[in-house]
Structure 1
Amino acid sequence: MEVLVVGGGPAGLAAAEVASAAGARVLVTEQKPSVGRKFLMAGKSGLNLTKDASPDELIAACGRAELAPMLRAFDAAAVQDWARGLGQEVFTGSSGRVFPVAMKGSPLLRAWLARLEAQGVEFRTRWRWLGGERFETRDGVQEVPARATVLAVGGASWSRLGSDGAWAGVLGGPLAPFRPANMGFDTDWSPYMARWAGAPVKGVALHCGGHLVEGEFVVSAGGVEGSAIYALSAPLRDAMGAEGVALELDLAPRTDAATLTRKLQRPRRKDSVSNWLRKATGLQGVKAALLREGGPLPSDPEALAARIKATPLHLTRPRPLDEAISVAGGVPFDRLDGDLMLTDRPRTFCAGEMLDWEAPTGGYLLTACIATGRWAGAAAARHAGSETGI
């Protein structure tokens, strides 16, 4: 075999696509019974392919200058053209997120696999990587000599879909510790908040240190999750101490404190506190519950307005690594050259989420996985071709 690709997720499939298109004979191995399992899971919520953003914005979101060449070579526009080339039309939502019109991953994956098979790519499933070119299979240990290898073995979350992080003990060498990314957080809710489990909290701003995100999140039985929380998950995680971390909620981000104060000065008359608050500020339901969760409501209008603009929420811990949408940590870039080849293992390349980078949800993750896979696949084909003449 000329190019061996370990891992059948987006990065591995992208590597196989580019390497086979260059003329290399490619084998893709996957430890699960089928490829693209996490890709299909993402497709259940619409399959956010990319973000309609410039290469510079993509690079900034991914937080690693080392990814710049890959993201410039395969940017958001290229992702959309690639999807259309597979017969999947795309559209851009109001947030700039790009989705297939089909709003699921299975049609795109089927078309992608058909292309790979037409290019001669071979697949072996239920093959667990043991290191080097050795695999544990149902038929015993198999060895696949290859002129170049692309490792695209994922991160360490959603292990049931194949990203179990077990490769870290096989690969060896210095690795950045795995940490959850794009995850929810636990908090010690009062019994009253249990009734709001599953309720969306819309139109809020979240503050943590110098970081600010506007959007929405969801109250879970034991904490908070959802897009606005995920967008702040890295600074919240990094600020987490033994006692947890403080998050502030602005429950009325479109209204300033002075205006809220004037509205709260209206007499209550016979209204309950809940009705008076709703009539004066529009806060009700889960927002009003969160306001009360921060402690007794101040009677002074100015102090109450300040509470609405900065409702405290104490987070105790991140949700477990295996529940995280993605992970930080993995192979550090100082172990790789510009081709994403391991400097201590010639002709072995790394791609995708196993690299030490993280990005918020919104299409950045998938774009960078595919971009690094394509980059590593092209480099692997070149190195294999130096011996085969392809």
Structure 2
Amino acid sequence: MERPEALVIGAGPAGLMAAEEMARAGLQVCVAEAKPSLARKLLMAGKSGLNLTTQEDAEAFLAAYGAAESRLRPILADFGPEQVRRWAEGLDQPLFTGSSGRVFPIAMKASPLLRAWLARLAGLGVEMRPRWRWQGWSGAALAFATPEGERCIAPGVVVLALGGASWARLGSDGAWADLLAAKGVPLAPFAPSNAALSVDWSAHMARHFGQPVKPLALTAGGQRVRGELVVSAKGLEGGGLYPLTPALRKDATLTLDLAPDLAEAAVAERLAQPRGKRSQANHLRRTLRLDPVRLAVLNEFARPLPPAPQTLAARIKALPVAHAGLRPLDEAISTAGGVRWDGLTDELELRALPGVFAAGEMLDWEAPTGGYLLTACLATGRFAGRAAAARLRSGPAGGT
């Protein structure tokens, strides 16, 4: 029976940050990870450019977390965008800020940052144990399936950073939910967040697969987002859609504004210009500069197009999207649901399991892409690691 001072289960950003904080506090820390390699989802996110955080007004940044904002506020106040920047730069990762305020490493990829981070953790004495899959409890100890067979650990404190329930092949399979539910931990059901929409396209849309729809504004549930979409074989995806996922989960109607820089009256006025011998499609191209992709989307969801300029203008400015709902949970970038806040103390300790803390995406919060997800994972991991270290120093945690 091993008895390390601190155990982290899950080697994503939240788990690694928790391990770093506990090691800095002088604890003996080991990290158990079910997969053969560490931080797989972070590496996947970095393939298209690792968006670490976003530089914007503090209140605007916090508003991105929706219903969880009040619980995350003190955690993000302690470790927000500026602290994330300093942390990354401390790992010798130079950064740049894009025109949208999004912050990236100059290298763009996640792998250089991860290598530097793992080297730091090794220097702090953190022990990594890949291929250690958590199986639950064996008495007061935690049981793992490992390449050497079943092993049990009885640590002083535990930080769980097990991720959500999307991208199971990268490690976030949500299998931990049943283990915690059996111990009385309250859970909110998993749901897709930052998810694409399923659309049963007509055959003529195939030529547009992979093409962006822009300029564009999207509205659902009273929220309007200026962004873009991508037409894919399965439906619609992209950064403009993801902030609307909470509303779409509630069956809110999604509408597209295909001419976001013009008022409806201006669109109608342009459409009312003499058409001559031009086809309706050419008239739309000439008067509104609608490109082939936006024209195809308009025809897909509004065919037959109304001939009256005012009616057609209203359709262009608020085009209802016929879809078959969000794509499956495992395809979502992230998930909502997880450990409910009423099951946690202010220190992120599980009320049902003294000495066990939780961090990262396994908590019941969600945020759009754009650095918000990674920032909160790092921040909650840091917070939980510090709280766990303080808990161990204050006295026995009780049966975990």
Q: TM-score range by the shorter chain?
A: over 0.9
Indicate which of 343, 365, 375 corresponds to 2:373: 365
Deviations 1:39-83 (CA, angstroms, capped at 9, x unpaired): 100110111101113443333211211111211110100000000
For 2:273 and 2:49, how far apart are their aligned partners in 1? 45
1:387 deviates by 4.7
1:144 deviates by 1.5
For 1:79 and 1:54, how far apart are their aligned partners in 2? 15
Deviations 1:221-274 (CA, angstroms, capped at 9, x unpaired): 131000011121111112x2xxxx532111001011222222112222222222
For 1:53 and 1:71, how far apart are their aligned partners in 2? 13
Instruction: Specify the alignment match of 2:290 in structure 1.
Output: 283
1:194 deviates by 2.2
The secondary structure found in structure 2 opposite 1:249 is: strand
Q: List gaps (5 residues or longer) in structure 1.
A: none
For 2:179 and 2:148, how far apart are their aligned partners in 1? 21
- 1:150 touches 1:350 (CA, 8 Å); kept in 2? yes
For 1:308 and 1:333, how far apart are their aligned partners in 2? 42
TM-score, reference length from structure 1: 0.96
Indicate which of 336, 339, 353 corresponds to 2:344: 336
For 1:180 and 1:209, how far apart are their aligned partners in 2? 17
Cα gap change, 1:62/1:264 in structure 2, threshold over 3 Å: closer, same or farther?
Answer: same
Q: Which deviates further from its counterpart, 310-319 or 268-277?
A: 268-277
Q: List gaps (5 residues or longer) in structure 2.
A: none
- 1:261 touches 1:301 (CA, 8 Å); kept in 2? yes
Cα gap change, 1:222/1:169 in structure 2, threshold over 3 Å: closer, same or farther?
Answer: same
Instruction: Specify the alignment match of 2:16 in structure 1.
Output: 13
Instruction: Report the AA paired with residue 44 of structure 2.
Output: M
Instruction: Specify the alignment match of 1:162 in structure 2.
Output: 171
TM-score, reference length from structure 2: 0.93
For 2:357 and 2:105, how far apart are their aligned partners in 1? 30
Q: Which consecutive segments of 4 or more residues in structure 1 shift more than 6 A?
A: none
For 1:110 and 1:146, how far apart are their aligned partners in 2? 27
Indicate which of 131, 142, 146 corresponds to 2:151: 142
For 2:317 and 2:180, how far apart are their aligned partners in 1? 49
For 1:356 and 1:263, how far apart are their aligned partners in 2? 48
- 1:4 touches 1:148 (CA, 8 Å); kept in 2? yes
What is the aligned residue count?
383
Deviations 1:290-316 (CA, angstroms, capped at 9, x unpaired): 111112111111112112111221122
1:176 deviates by 0.5
Asked whether 1:126 is paired with 2:131, we answer: yes
Q: Percent identity?
A: 56
Instruction: Specify the alignment match of 2:276 in structure 1.
Output: 269
For 1:55 and 1:24, how far apart are their aligned partners in 2? 33
For 1:54 and 1:311, how far apart are their aligned partners in 2? 32
Asked whether 1:205 is paired with 2:217, we answer: yes
Q: Which deviates further from its counterpart, 180-189 or 59-68?
A: 59-68
Instruction: Specify the alignment match of 1:249 in structure 2.
Output: 256
Asked whether 1:70 is paired with 2:70, we answer: no
Cα gap change, 1:58/1:277 in structure 2, threshold over 3 Å: closer, same or farther?
Answer: closer
For 1:48 and 1:9, how far apart are their aligned partners in 2? 15
For 2:351 and 2:277, how far apart are their aligned partners in 1? 75
1:169 deviates by 1.2
Instruction: Specify the alignment match of 1:177 in structure 2.
Output: 189
The secondary structure found in structure 2 opposite 1:129 is: strand
For 2:146 and 2:167, how far apart are their aligned partners in 1? 22
1:197 deviates by 1.4
RMSD, aligned CA: 1.3
Deviations 1:263-291 (CA, angstroms, capped at 9, x unpaired): 11222222222222111111120101111
Instruction: Specify the alignment match of 1:36 in structure 2.
Output: 39
Deviations 1:195-242 (CA, angstroms, capped at 9, x unpaired): 21111001111111311111101011131000011121111112x2xx
- 1:203 touches 1:215 (CA, 8 Å); kept in 2? yes
Pairing of 1:73-88 with structure 2 (within 5 A): 73-88=78-93
The secondary structure found in structure 2 opposite 1:221 is: coil
Deviations 1:331-362 (CA, angstroms, capped at 9, x unpaired): 00111101100111110000000000101111
The secondary structure found in structure 1 opposite 2:253 is: strand
Pairing of 1:181-196 with structure 2 (within 5 A): 181-196=193-208
The secondary structure found in structure 1 opposite 2:64 is: helix
